[in-house]
Structure 1
Amino acid sequence: MTRFNQMIKQWKYFVFVTGVFSIQGSSENLEENLALKGTAVQSSTFYTSGATKAIDGIRYSPSGTPHPDETHTYCSITSNQLNPWWRLDLLDYYYIYKVTITNRGDCCLDQTTGVEIRIGNSLENNGNNNPRCAVTSLVPARSTVSFYCGGMEGRYVNMYIPNIQAHLTLCEVEVYGTAVNRKKVFLRMKLTSSVDTAAVNKTFLNQLQSSLGLSDVKLSWTRLPYRDVTHEEKKNNKDSC
């Protein structure tokens, strides 16, 4: 048997494959208020009630007195305008399961009524075109209401009142979810020729879950594995001609 034939026989059992795959997973921590790590902006500002007042970690004023001046101190309020909005940038990508809104305690319940909660990764129309999680109904004064979003993925959380002129008031916005971890890895492996892509995926998913502590891991090839011919193999092919 020639060396070339021996090499052919070896190829039957071993091949080199090269591919690119992406890893997506989530780390579980549903008790952390993600909003506290983000930044906030809004369409306009009424008096001194800036956007960050809604993510300062204070649901109600410390004194408990529902005085208008304290609403200005502890709540975000836009000017009376058409289509007011407020946007939270989480600074990373998350699966969002719950958004909690706290209303002011003194008056003006309509300022937190009919608010669309939108979640996504786009800044088109200031983020107000992202998918909708829920729409608030009348939120009682000095109350906290939660809305469940089923793990919608997004970096931005918007509060949006469309098609009317109004103030938008938010005394506190809380967001709970899990981080989305994405990585792209270039991989070179030596595998038996009988091992298919599904078996490769299963092997690596098991290793990733055990070593990185990720859950809900997904692996997808952006370029399917292909056989890489070595310099020695090319030389033998040429000699056999």
Structure 2
Amino acid sequence: MAVQSSTYGWGAANATFYTWGAAKAIDGIRYAPGEASSCSVTSHQLNPWWRLDLLDSYSISSVTVTNRGDCCLDQTTGVEIRIGNSLENNGNNNPRCGVTSSVPVGSSVSFSCGGMEGRYVNMYIPNIQHLTLCEVEVYGTV
């Protein structure tokens, strides 16, 4: 199950309301056409975060993060990948596996986490902005 600090959304002229919830980052769709149609996006805020609850503690070998294909390189730059069993500060105080320097538009980057133990996998930006994740893949063992 995935949750995030807030969810960006906007209404169109035809009264359709679009939202980019946390579950879109684990829907199995890495690259979708259009404006982040299958990505999670937080509101523009201080310290946005996204969290995956694995429901049990795992030994995490790697995490792959995919950026949206149309724009917004800054929305995945400086993301801290945190893994652990604590929900202190929404899980953002857990040990850090890595930090994205930049994830090119329409690309994925992988981080080796060396068997870090944890139930929660967090993506966190210590800054004021949106956090966009088009896909987060977590690999590990029980």
Measured against the shorter chain, the TM-score band is over 0.9
* Amino acid in structure 2 at the alignment position of 1:177: G
Q: Percent identity?
A: 78
Consecutive aligned runs of 4 or more in structure 1 exceeding 6 Å deviation = none
The CA RMSD over aligned residues, in Å, is: 0.6
2:116 is aligned to 152
- For 1:28-107, what aligned pairs fall within 5 Å after superposition? 39-47=1-9, 48-61=19-32, 65=33, 67-68=34-35, 71=36, 73-107=37-71
Correspondence 1:175 to 2:138 = yes
Count matched residues. Answer: 133
2:15 is aligned to none
CA deviation after TM superposition for structure 1 residue 79, in Å: 0.2
Cα distance in structure 1, aligned partners of 2:102 and 2:128: 17
Cα distance in structure 2, aligned partners of 1:54 and 1:93: 20
TM-score of the superposed pair, with normalisation by structure 2: 0.92
Deviations 1:125-179 (A, max 9, x none): 00000000000011101001100000000000000001x2100000000000000
Q: Which runs of 5+ in 1 are unaligned?
A: 1-38, 180-241
| Partner SS state of residue 94, structure 2 | coil
| Partner SS state of residue 59, structure 1 | coil
TM-score of the superposed pair, with normalisation by structure 1: 0.55
CA deviation after TM superposition for structure 1 residue 55, in Å: 0.3
| Partner SS state of residue 98, structure 1 | strand
Cα distance in structure 1, aligned partners of 2:68 and 2:31: 8
Q: Which runs of 5+ in 2 are unaligned?
A: 10-18
CA deviation after TM superposition for structure 1 residue 113, in Å: 0.4
Cα distance in structure 2, aligned partners of 1:93 and 1:158: 14
1:139 is aligned to 103
More strand by share: 2
CA deviation after TM superposition for structure 1 residue 109, in Å: 0.5
More helix by share: 1
* Amino acid in structure 2 at the alignment position of 1:171: C
1:121 is aligned to 85
